[in-house]
Amino acid sequence: MRVLIRGGRVIDPSRGLDAIRDVAIDGGIIRAISEHIEERGHEIIDATNCVVAPGFIDMHVHLREPGQTHKETIATGTAAAVAGGFTAVACMPNTTPSIDTPAVIAEIAQRVAQAGLARVYPIAAITHERKGEQLAPYHELALAGAVAFSDDGATIENVRVLRNAALYARDVKGPFISHCLDDALHGDAVMNEGLHSAVLGLPASPRLAEDVVVARDVLVAADTGKAWHIAHVSTETSLDILRWARSRGTAVTCEVTPHHLLLHDDLFVDYHARAKVAPPLRGPQDSAALRAAVRDGTIDVFATDHAPHTLEEKAQLLSIAPVGFSGLEIAVGAYAHALPDLPLDRFISLLSTRPAQILGVEGGTLAVGARADLTIFGERPWTVDAHSFYSKGKNTPFDGFTFSRRVVATVVGGRLAYQADRGVLEPLAYT
Amino acid sequence: MCQSPTGSMQTRSSPRSLLDIDDLSRDEIALVIRRSGEFRTQLPDRSLLAGVPVLNLFFEASTRTATSFTLAEQRVGADVITFAPGTSSLGKGETIADTAITLRAIGVRVIVVRHNESGFPRRLAESFDGHVVNAGDGTRAHPTQALLDLATLHAEFGRFEGLRVAIVGDILHSRVARSNIVGMKMLGIDVTLVGPPTLLPDSFAQDGVRIERDFDAVLPRVDAVMMLRIQRERIAASLLPALADYTIGYQLGTQRLRLLPKHAVVLHPGPYNRGVELTDEALADPRSRYETQVTNGVFVRMAALDLLVNGTAVRA
């Protein structure tokens, strides 16, 4: 299949390119980028007034397969990915069973081959069944295709286990990714601790629950030399700890979600769980600090923590309802809304080039000869309607928000996978 | 920066529910208190809620509040149904809405509900086409308790504006404290909260609400002191070292009773733990109003039910 992307503003942070160019694709590879390319049996994508970027990679996604297919499947999750402009996602291991054996990775790879619309990079568990006790087989998992290791959703409480895991896995490719919330401090919290939780009488999680684990983990990273990534940073103090660690030369990166950049802990007055998430939504001072940390480069990556659940699950009482909500299909709009003045090359780097580098995967570049994964977006106002999501998780606290930036088309391996006015372009093999 | 679209909070303007005390205006609070005083002097005939089906739905055990509500309902002539499911599966997921719809279809017009989770009555009220009265939810609210506390204060002092009240103890876990803070702020009462930082986080300070850690310094300048119950579970949760240690800082006993002005009163929402938050001497002190509070509870609940079901126009 030959595709010609016409007249877009092509921005490639990996090579410092920012110019109006045509992009020719053939056989899944970028063949040429220049001012004018003759059409020769190409499928044409008109990118006039749009930005053409290397494909976006969401390195923090819950695809729920295997085992939790009522919440999401690889088919629906990757459909949501391409609809959100993502050509690749990294999937977290809190599935049933956990991604802690090569067999589970093989099963995922098989499903992706059958029904995947985007690339899927498995993240394997750090410990067996994510229990924080016995080390997972890192070499085997990496050979099977794991790109990183994380017990996401759970914090490894035992520092000896964490240190030994990091030492043993130090020379295995792929960073450790920390979900940082101290279990005992977080307890049965449903929201952030502060004035709002005091007034509402709801169990609350202090910022300290995150900060102490971020501090601990950057120290373990420094001690062991393992490459480390801190997931969904949400507090001002966590950012300060990360800056300090980097100033000492520790190899640690971090990500931020759209919801922590934009939303606060004032969304619980009706006692619904739509904004229940871990780490919890904080206050305006934290979100301002996070936006500043994107601008100053402290934050490396935009990652959504796409965590789909059914409407029935999220409609339960606040104490019972699960944490998280869908993120893939609002990401581009929400990030631009949070940081309207962020230079486009930085915006693209946070969504593409940096996650590719951190995970050590192909992508994040529009070099001629590179795999043709591209995201095309433009300034076209749109309103979030969760019921229209491709994801099975039709919950988001952003429902009804109007954003200005929108995904126009998503190209995966030279194949047009999504176009704004046509939707996801391949029938789902199964749901 | 961003406004989320209108939520589903305000689903309808009527029938009215009492989820927290600020569902009533200042004038309505005054009306309920005045009416409760009238009822105390002379019981009304049983016509006010004659034939209105009222369901007492208590998911959490209650002796005083359930009894008080039941008597209040009977005294205004309601058809009273009592159901105590305990903490059952009822209330999970869509069944909150389904339960509400079913109960309305049966004919229930008023649900008096107690639940161990903050916000449950609000979730129920979203789907129930009738009146929901909160009889205590989690650590969130207990509006009829606040009304009876305010009625007791008003009977004592004849006013609210400028009164100085200290609420002492486990504020963090107290729905009584939360509703009283809201109500007292509305009525111009000067509120001071007293307790150790584990049970009274700094985040409770707000406009018109002060935090003090030194109980002895607070006592001489208050008109009323409300002592909250301290539960033994707080020790296991590492919020307190021992009850005996708590008493050093926060128990109302013989020494501290001397610091309390003669005109002041002692309130307690009950059930109290003798020898913990207060001593036998404090309960026996002539300034203690515990029994008056409990008695007022029935009359306040009668007046609140009347207001919610019949509105103010009828008898203002």
Question: pLDDT tens digit string along A268-307?
Answer: 999 999 999 999 999 999 999 999 999 999 999 999 999 9
The yes-or-no verdict on residue B236 having pLDDT over 50 is yes
Give the pLDDT confidence of A194-232 residue by residue, as tens digits.
999 999 999 999 999 999 999 999 999 999 999 999 999
| Pair A120, A26 in one domain | no
| Pair A102, A223 in one domain | yes
Tell which of A192, A195, A270 to mutate to test the B interface (max B CBs under 10 Å): A270
pLDDT number for residue B99: 86
- Contacts for A264 with CB less than 8 Å, ≥ 6 apart: A281, A282, A283, A284, A287
User: Is A429 contained in some domain?
Assistant: no
* Architecture field, domain B144-293: 3-Layer(aba) Sandwich (3.40)
**Residue range(s) defining the domain that contains residue A254:** 55-359
Whole-complex ipTM: 0.89
- Above pLDDT 70, what percent of chain B? 91
**Interface check A103 vs B, CB under 8 A:** no
The minimum CA-CA distance between B172 and chain A, rounded to whole Å, is 7
**Interface check B4 vs A, CB under 8 A:** yes
| Pair A132, A157 in one domain | yes
Q: Do B21-140+295-308 and B144-293 show the same overall fold? A: yes
Tell which of B123, B126, B179 to mutate to test the A interface (max A CBs under 10 Å): B123
**Interface check B142 vs A, CB under 8 A:** no
Residues of B in Cβ contact (< 8 Å) with A197: 203
Residue A22 among the catalytic residues: no
Average pLDDT, chain B: 91
* Topology classification of domain B21-140+295-308: Rossmann fold (3.40.50)
pLDDT number for residue B98: 86
The yes-or-no verdict on residue B87 having pLDDT over 60 is no
The minimum CA-CA distance between B117 and chain A, rounded to whole Å, is 8
Ordered DSSP codes for B190-209: EEEEES-TTTS-GGG-BTTE
State whether B93 and A316 contact (CB < 8 Å). yes
The yes-or-no verdict on residue B95 having pLDDT over 80 is no
CATH number at residue A409: 2.30.40.10
* Nearest CA-CA partner of A413 in A369, A364, A374: A374
How many structural domains is chain A composed of?
A: 2
The minimum CA-CA distance between A193 and chain B, rounded to whole Å, is 8
User: Is A393 contained in some domain?
Assistant: no
The yes-or-no verdict on residue B9 having pLDDT over 50 is no
| Pair A6, A150 in one domain | no
The minimum CA-CA distance between B277 and chain A, rounded to whole Å, is 22
- Mean pLDDT across the stretch B164-174? 97
User: Is A239 contained in some domain?
Assistant: yes
What residues of chain B, 145 to 174, have a C-beta less than 8 Å from chain A? 172
Give the number of beta-carbon pairs within 8 Å between A and B. Answer: 79
- Above pLDDT 90, what percent of chain B? 83
pLDDT band at B313 (very low <50, low <70, confident <90, very high): low
**Interface check B86 vs A, CB under 8 A:** no
The yes-or-no verdict on residue B14 having pLDDT over 70 is no
| Pair A28, A85 in one domain | no
Q: Which of A305, A373, A399, A421 is catalytic?
A: A305
The yes-or-no verdict on residue B1 having pLDDT over 90 is no
The residue of chain A with its CA nearest to that of B176 is: A201
State whether B122 and A262 contact (CB < 8 Å). no
Residues of B in Cβ contact (< 8 Å) with A195: 203, 206
pLDDT band at B3 (very low <50, low <70, confident <90, very high): very low
The yes-or-no verdict on residue A375 having pLDDT over 90 is yes
Which one of B96, B123, B140 has the shortest CB-CB distance to A200? B140
| Pair A207, A124 in one domain | yes
| Pair A76, A45 in one domain | no
Residues of A in Cβ contact (< 8 Å) with B118: 200-202, 271, 318
The yes-or-no verdict on residue B8 having pLDDT over 50 is no
User: Is A392 contained in some domain?
Assistant: no
pLDDT number for residue A19: 98
pLDDT band at B308 (very low <50, low <70, confident <90, very high): very high
**Interface check A208 vs B, CB under 8 A:** no
State whether A400 and B5 contact (CB < 8 Å). yes
| Pair A339, A375 in one domain | no
Domain boundaries, chain B: 21-140+295-308, 144-293
Give the pLDDT confidence of A30-54 residue by residue, as tens digits.
999 999 999 999 999 999 999 999 9
The minimum CA-CA distance between B219 and chain A, rounded to whole Å, is 24
Global pTM value: 0.93
- Mean pLDDT across the stretch A111-118? 95
| Pair A216, A285 in one domain | yes
The residue of chain B with its CA nearest to that of A397 is: B4
> Whole-angstrom Cα distance, residue B22 to residue A95?
45
The residue of chain A with its CA nearest to that of B1 is: A262
| Pair A21, A169 in one domain | no
pLDDT band at B298 (very low <50, low <70, confident <90, very high): very high
| Pair A81, A169 in one domain | yes
| Pair A205, A71 in one domain | yes
